[in-house]
Every structure is written in structure tokens, then in C-alpha cells.
Structure 1
Amino acid sequence: MIILASASPRRQELLSLICDDFSVEPADIDETIENEIELEKMPEYLAVKKAKHIQGNKHFDDIVIGCDTGVFLDGIMLGKPSSESNAAEMLRNLSGRKHKVITGCALLYKDRCISFSQTTEVEFFELTDMEIEDYIATGEPMDKAGAYGIQGKGTALVKGIVGDFYNVVGLPVAMLNKKLKEIISNAEKKL
């Protein structure tokens, strides 16, 4: 059985593109990150932490997939906004600039762990205060890293991307598919 350790409906929808049968068990963990973890490896670290948490809860014989996405600008990882004013600040900082979106993924099966990070570069248009206010009024930015959703109304903010679109949504589908096939193939060899 495949378990997705995420409550994100976007991740569930994207996983269904490559996997017909899986269940969802969100990982409610402390997302504290150890000081020695380098900045751009933080999403991968959290993905492993989430997957291990779910695997430890009676899923040792299942394939557990953990994911975490971060938005990176000026050497800082932008999380989900804590308020509308925090969302406005993030969007003003992203306005007219390029930033990185990094999704970390971890696949655990028994004692095996495959983890990786995928990076996509995103460039925003210059945004006016009114555009930022209007976007925040939709409510969409409040549960998204970096205060925007590229798959929703936030698409109007994006001038262009270099890399995997689905990675920005929260799941690098093509790379995950390759790694999932690898772990399933190795599991079948051991049967």
C-alpha cells in the first residue's frame, strides 16, 4: 500500500496522476529544523521527518511518501503567511523578482529511504499594492508557502518559470514517479 503523508488536496490530486491506489495520512509533526541543516535542504529534511513519523505509526510494510515545499528568496525560506499583512509583505518582496521553489520528497519502505529535492525558478511580475490587496482578498495566499498558489488565482502574478510546474504546486510528479517505480521494483525483487 502507498501512504501519502500530507493533507494537501493539491498533492493528493497530483499523486493520483501517477498512482491509482493510495491512502492519505497527514503527518502532524513538529516542523522544527536542526541548525546544521543547510537552507535549501530544509524541505527534504522535513519530508523525511514526515514520512518517518507516519511509517512509525504502523506503516513499516507500506511505501510512505512525505513532502514539503519551501519558497526561497534572499537566503530565507518563506513559509505560510501568519496574517494578511505578512502575506502582503511576502508578495511585495517577491514582486518583480525571481525566487526558488524547492520541494523535498521522501519515499520510505521498510529500512529503505529515497529522498530528493526538486528546484523550480519562478519570476513574478511587478505587482501594484492594489494587485496584492486584491489577491489577498481571495483568501488563497493564506495556506500557501510564499503566500501564493501558482495553480490558482496566483497564476496571474507569475511572469514565468524555469523547471517543473507541478513542483511549484507542491509535488514534482515526474521525478516522484521515477523514484516510486524504483522503490516498487526493489520491493518486488525482495518478495
Structure 2
Amino acid sequence: MSDNTEPSDDHARDAMTRGDRVRAAARTLRTPRSPAWVAEETGVSVKTAQKYLDQLVEDDVLRRIERADRSLYCVDRLMATYREVAALQREHDREELTDVLESMQSEIAAWKATYDVETPGELRASIADVDDPDEVEERREVAADWEHLDDRIPIVRAALNEYDWASDRDVVPV
């Protein structure tokens, strides 16, 4: 391998411990998956995957869902959202969060005016009326960005709504 070559994903994976591989894969589980699926993806035994998945459930990173006669795992979105709200409150002051919220809402308002639509779905549907491939791609990108902002706005709002409450409790006793 030359000095300019990036190490392969397999090499990076081999450098991680079994637990690190399972934990890294588990943090990406948006849809419920079985321990066998995680084991196959991470190159560990099902027993090892089960051990680390159960630890992540105990740590409120994953949720265990019982379906039929088996356990499935996915990211605990509620706890992930709480952690994200706390991170926003710790990393930004109230004015910064207010500015971010205002900027996101302004961007959405501009898209509504530019494309004469009310939702990202309507923007995606408007692609059927467009012949220019560049315009189609632009509308797809704007719709994806809009959906992302729609997901982020409630999180920023929650950080702002509970800013004082969280600040009062985020004090390390001396």
C-alpha cells in the first residue's frame, strides 16, 4: 500500500474490538434488527452481538422490541433526542439557538415562496412538471433539506423551551 492510499474499511474494522464493532453498528439501527443480523454485519458471533446489544439497551442507547418469538433492536430515538437537546443547550447559548431556529424557519419560508408549495411532499410532486434535469435535482435536494429542517426544528424548539430548566440542573456541585 502506498503512502497516499487510504486504509480499506475492512482494515479499519479489523482494528476495532468486537464490542466496538457492535456498538458502532448498533448506533446506526434505524429499523429494528436481530442479533443475528448485527452479528453478520460486524463479523462476531450471535452471542457476542447479543451481549453488547443488551448492554446498549441498559445504557438507553438502544430499545429492545419483542416481535413474535424474537428480540429486535433499534436506536432509542427518545433518548437520542434527549441527548441531542442537552448537547444543544450545553454547546449554544439561548441567542444562538434562537438565531438557528429563525434561520431554519426563514429558509423554509423562502422555499415555500420560491416553489409555491407548502410541504416538501408538494415540492417533490412538482418534479413531475419540470423538464430540466438540473431543476429536478435542485428540487430533490431542496425537498431533502426541507425534510431535514422539519426534523431539526422541534429539537431546537425543545432546547429553547427547556433552556432555563436545564441550565438550573446542569450545575456541577463544588
Larger strand fraction of residues: 1
TM-score normalised by length of structure 1: 0.20
Larger helix fraction of residues: 2
Q: Which has the higher contact order (CA 8 A, sep 6+)?
A: 1
